[in-house]
C-alpha cells in the first residue's frame, strides 16, 4: 500500500477477490479463489461488520486489521468449501429453521 491516507479511496477501486488479496499482499492459490471468490468476499464483509470502531482507527491500523480479516476469510476456504462454510444464504436455505413460539402466542394471547 503506497499512501495510507488514501485507504478508503483505494478500497473503493477494488472489485475482485484477487484485487483485494493482491492489495493486501496476501499470498493465495488461484484455484481456491476461483472456486470461492464470492464466499471469501462475503466472509470478509461479515468479519468486517463485527469490528467495532474500525473507522476510528489510524489508516495503518485499519489496513493491518483489514489484511488480517481478509487473510482469515481466505484461509476459511483453503481447507473447507462453500457448502461446509455456508456463507451465502443459498447454502442455509434448506437448514432446519428453529424458533420459539410461546404458549401465549399459540393461544392468541
Q: How confident is the model at residue 48 (pLDDT cuts 50, 70, 90)?
A: very high
pLDDT reported for residue 95: 53
Convert the pLDDT of each residue in 60-100 to its tens digit. 889 999 999 999 999 998 987 666 666 655 544 455 556 66
- Domain boundaries along the sequence of the chain: 4-106
Give every CB contact of residue 11 below 8 A, 6+ residues apart in sequence: 23, 66
Look at residues 48, 28, 43 and name the one whose alpha carbon lies nearest to residue 91.
43
Q: Helix, strand or coil for residue 22?
A: helix
The strand ranges marked E within 1-109 are none
Amino acid at each position: 500500500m503506497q499512501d495510507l491516507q488514501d485507504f478508503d479511496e483505494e478500497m473503493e477501486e477494488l472489485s475482485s477477490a484477487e484485487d483485494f488479496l493482491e492489495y493486501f499482499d496476501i499470498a493465495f492459490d488461484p484455484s481456491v479463489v476461483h472456486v470461492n471468490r464470492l464466499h471469501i468476499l462475503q466472509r470478509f464483509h461479515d468479519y468486517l461488520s463485527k469490528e467495532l470502531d474500525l473507522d476510528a482507527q489510524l489508516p495503518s491500523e485499519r489496513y493491518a486489521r483489514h489484511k488480517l480479516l481478509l487473510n482469515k476469510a481466505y484461509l476459511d476456504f483453503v481447507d473447507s468449501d462453500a457448502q461446509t462454510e455456508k456463507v451465502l444464504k443459498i447454502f442455509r436455505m434448506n437448514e432446519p429453521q428453529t424458533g420459539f413460539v410461546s404458549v401465549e402466542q399459540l393461544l392468541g394471547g
